[in-house]
Amino acid sequence: MKPEEHSGAASGSQQVEAAVAELCARGEGLVTFDADGVLWRGDAGDGFLLWQIENHRLLPAAEREARRIWETYRNGQFGELEMAVFCASILHGLKEEVVQADAREFFDRCFRTSVIPETRSWANRLQAAGVEVWVVSGSHRWIIAAGSETVGLRADRMLTVAAQVRDGVITAEVLLPVTYGVGKAEAIDRRFGCAPDLAFGNTFSDRFMLDMAKVGVAVEPDERLAALAEDCGWPILRL
């Protein structure tokens, strides 16, 4: 790493630490965290779908469709937004309690060691100080709830992709707005009617959420988000 890159990384962390300390001192505010790539490394939503396929945890027809869609997605012929919707809708016909248990088992086995200590620490400190900490993710409700519990966050403070549940059974009816891309900003505005004090994201699709926040934070950002963060003066974290 070049000296200037190391300095920039330190500066980003220092800016975030100062903002977190200020909010903790106030004991109020709103902070939103993306999940995959921010609270933990990797994509738990995609990983859980693969785990469900490999362990035959979907209904037979749904498993066949999931295998087909996964190959299409791998070949770049199925978009990220469409995949976010698909991962939730393909759960149709399953009992919610079964999916919840599966998600906890998967996350504990496959993602517990991928939790990012720095962002977890900030999230936990903010929550303990009385700041409202919400996870806003393009992955679905059940896997994000499992991850949030592991990280130490309240599982009832999530804005995620979700399907309607009737009589304890998940349906194929995905609720709006879908919390991917601009949908994250729409969901935050609909739920709170105000901008987050801090928002953490890692991909270019998170730009809408970061842009609406008083301070947007780019966590190990992809190339396009890194360039945007530089232009906007957002802290960039290289953890």
Phi, psi of 40 (to 5 degrees): -150, 155
Q: What pLDDT is stored for residue 119 in this prediction?
A: 98
Q: What pLDDT is stored for residue 9 in this prediction?
A: 55
Q: What number is the average pLDDT over the span 50-58?
A: 98
C-beta separation of 116 from 123 below 8 A: no
CB contact set of 201 (below 8 Å; sequence gap of 6+): 34, 38, 207, 209, 210, 216, 217, 218, 219, 221, 225
C-beta separation of 216 from 203 below 8 A: no
Which CA distances in Å does 132 have to 30, 108, 157?
Answer: 5, 25, 8
pTM here is 0.94
Dihedral sign, Cα of residue 205, residue 17, residue 35, residue 160 = negative
Q: What pLDDT is stored for residue 1 in this prediction?
A: 37
CB contact set of 197 (below 8 Å; sequence gap of 6+): 19, 23, 29, 30, 31, 131, 213, 214, 215
Q: How far apart are CA 51 and CA 130, in angstroms?
A: 36
Closest listed residue to residue 237, CA positions, set 209, 214, 215: 215
- Polymer length of the chain: 239
> Is pLDDT above 50 for 3?
no
pLDDT digits (tens, 9 = 90+) for 173-231: 999 999 999 999 999 999 999 999 999 999 999 999 999 999 999 999 999 999 999 99
pLDDT band (50, 70, 90) for residue 2? very low
Q: What pLDDT is stored for residue 109 in this prediction?
A: 97
Q: What number is the average pLDDT over the span 130-150?
A: 98
Q: Which domains does the chain have, with CATH numbers?
A: 23-237 (3.40.50.1000)
